[in-house]
């Protein structure tokens, strides 16, 4: 099963398959039901969280002749699912930025659909349009023909002019939680007959940085190599990530003030060609977790997203090692050294310095 196939196979076909955007989906379902669909929408939010997917679902629902819309059974729905509906026009504003493209669009918008009721124009990455193009688009949005619905999608709504925004219904898509990403990954793995362990799913979700699309393509990539079972170690290996266990080890060596062993561990990670800024970032997350858990153990849910359960256990067990005043100083040490990765002639040096400063400066008597 290739990445592409996986991605197409699991593209949501109805509203209830869209995860974690209930505030948007609820409003769209209602609008379709009540026949109160706006002429223009603005869908904003991070990459790969369902903006284009939701716009396509809206288009399909608006042209569906079934009872539950979209029914996924009528001719129009089938056309949409096969990607051959004439009533869906998708424009990528990143590569069609100019006024000519928008003028062309204004011309074509006038024609009523050959079949079905609505033509839906999705303008992706709309913030990329030139000022002239925005002005031309504004004219269309001011007097849209009855059959036309515009969905403007963007990852950067700050760059969309207020005049445009005021003509639209604006919905902000949120970044999904790790549990929402892993839930979907587990579902996909299950229906492909693949066993994916919890930590493995979490590592994929973390690597995808909040994007459903990226998490799916990573899963596809891994499934192309590993067929029946996927473990955390295999996920790390295929993504080229250092074992999280070695980073936990590094944290513990620092607390034990074992500089030689810590330096040796860094040398091993470096020899294996691992991304050391990634190690540094995870170390930062460890200390941030210490900060929160020291302040109040009830704050755990806030930091739990970025860490694995076994990592949280280790951190909790080590809390007595920290004097109150030293945590923010340690965080500053790790944070400041992140900047050094960009200009260091020796790739592992910033991490080595971090570890030495953390070990050397840890004076629990002075706070
Ligand atoms: N909320 C979601 N629920 C379930 N699957 C999702 C969701 N968001 C994205 N996906 C999956 O990721 C794929 C890509 O999503 P989509 O194209 O809708 O993202 P987008 O928000 O438009 O991103 P971009 O800003 O990069 O265009 C979908 O085909 C689907 O498989
Ligand atoms: Mg999109
Ligand atoms: Zn239908």
Dist CA 274 CA 367 (whole Å): 34
Task: Kindly state if the Cβ of 10 falls inside 6 Å of ligand 1.
Answer: yes
Task: Kindly state if the Cβ of 97 falls inside 6 Å of ligand 1.
Answer: no
The fold of the 21-172 domain, in CATH, is: Rossmann fold (3.40.50)
Q: Which structure tokens are listed for 276?
A: 């050391």
Q: How far is CA 135 from CA 58, 125, 140, in A?
A: 26, 16, 9
pLDDT of amino acid 118: 95
Q: Where are the domains of the chain?
A: 21-172, 178-239, 244-360
Q: What is the pLDDT of residues 45-86, one digit of tens each?
A: 999 999 999 999 999 999 999 999 999 999 999 999 999 999
- Provide block-wise average pLDDT over 10 residues at a time, the chain (367 residues): 70 96 97 95 97 97 95 97 95 93 91 91 97 95 95 97 97 96 96 94 95 95 88 92 95 97 98 95 97 95 92 96 90 96 95 96 44
Q: Whole-angstrom distance between the N-terminal and C-terminal Cα of the chain?
A: 56
Dist CA 228 CA 13 (whole Å): 26
Give the distance, in angstroms, between the CA of residue 333 and the centroid of all CA atoms in the same chain: 29
Task: Kindly state if the Cβ of 53 falls inside 6 Å of ligand 1.
Answer: yes
pLDDT of amino acid 137: 96
Tell me whether the omega of the peptide bond preceding residue 70 falls within 30 degrees of 0, making it cis: yes
Cβ atoms within 10 Å of 272's Cβ, excluding its own: 11
Ligand 3 centroid from CA 73, angstroms: 5
Dist CA 305 CA 177 (whole Å): 8
Task: Kindly state if the Cβ of 212 falls inside 6 Å of ligand 1.
Answer: yes
The domains spanning 178-239 and 244-360 adopt the same CATH topology: no
Dist CA 350 CA 367 (whole Å): 24
Q: Which structure tokens are listed for 5?
A: 């196939």
Q: Which of 4, 151, 212, 215 to mutate to test the pocket of ligand 1 (most atoms within 8 A of CB)?
A: 212
Taking domain 244-360, whether its CATH number is 1.20.272.10 is answered by yes
Nearest ligand 1 atom, CA 180: 3
Ligand 3 centroid from CA 87, angstroms: 13
**Beta-bridge partners for 91:** 123
Dist CA 176 CA 215 (whole Å): 11
Task: Kindly state if the Cβ of 125 falls inside 6 Å of ligand 1.
Answer: no
Dist CA 220 CA 215 (whole Å): 9
Dist CA 54 CA 41 (whole Å): 11
For residues 37 and 64, the answer to whether their CB atoms sit within 8 Å is: no
Dist CA 59 CA 120 (whole Å): 6
Pick the CATH number of 178-239 from 3.40.50.12280, 1.10.8.60, 3.50.50.60, 3.30.70.100: 1.10.8.60
Surface-to-core class of residue 261, CB atoms within 10 Å of its CB (0-12 exposed, 13-18 middle, 19+ buried): middle
Task: Kindly state if the Cβ of 357 falls inside 6 Å of ligand 1.
Answer: no
Dist CA 52 CA 211 (whole Å): 13
């Amino acid at each position: 099963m290739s990445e592409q196939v996986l991605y197409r196979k699991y593209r949501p076909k109805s509203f209830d398959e869209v995860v974690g955007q209930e505030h948007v989906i609820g409003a769209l379902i209602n609008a379709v039901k009540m026949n109160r669909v706006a002429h223009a929408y603005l869908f904003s939010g991070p990459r790969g969280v369902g903006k284009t997917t939701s716009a396509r679902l809206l288009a399909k629902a608006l042209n569906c002749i079934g009872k539950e819309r979209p029914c996924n059974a009528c001719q129009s729905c089938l056309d949409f699912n096969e990607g051959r509906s004439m009533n869906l026009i998708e424009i990528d504003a990143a590569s069609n930025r100019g006024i000519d493209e928008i003028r062309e669009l204004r011309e074509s918008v006038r024609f009523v659909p050959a079949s079905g009721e609505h033509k839906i124009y999705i303008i992706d990455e709309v913030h990329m349009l030139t000022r002239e193009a925005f002005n031309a688009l504004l004219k269309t949005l001011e007097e849209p023909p009855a059959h036309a619905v515009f969905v403007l999608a963007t990852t950067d709504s700050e760059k969309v002019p207020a005049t445009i925004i005021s003509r639209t219904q604006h919905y902000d898509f949120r970044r999904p939680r790790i549990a929402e990403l892993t839930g979907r990954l587990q579902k996909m793995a299950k229906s492909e007959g693949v066993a994916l362990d919890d930590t493995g799913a979490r590592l994929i979700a973390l690597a995808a940085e909040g994007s459903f699309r990226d998490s799916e393509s990573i899963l596809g990539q891994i499934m192309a190599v590993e067929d029946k079972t996927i473990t955390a170690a295999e996920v790390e290996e295929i993504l080229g990530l250092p074992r999280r266990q070695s980073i936990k080890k590094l944290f513990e060596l620092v607390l034990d003030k074992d500089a030689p062993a810590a330096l040796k561990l860094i040398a091993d990670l470096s020899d294996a060609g691992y991304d050391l800024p990634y190690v540094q970032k995870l170390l930062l997350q460890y200390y941030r977790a210490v900060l929160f858990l020291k302040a109040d153990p009830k704050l755990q849910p806030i930091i739990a997203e970025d860490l694995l359960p076994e990592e949280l256990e280790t951190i909790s067990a080590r809390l007595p090692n920290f004097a109150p005043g030293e945590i923010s100083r340690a965080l500053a040490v790790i944070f400041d050294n992140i900047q050094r990765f960009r200009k260091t002639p020796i790739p592992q040096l910033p991490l080595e310095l971090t570890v030495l400063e953390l070990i050397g400066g840890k004076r629990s008597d002075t706070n």
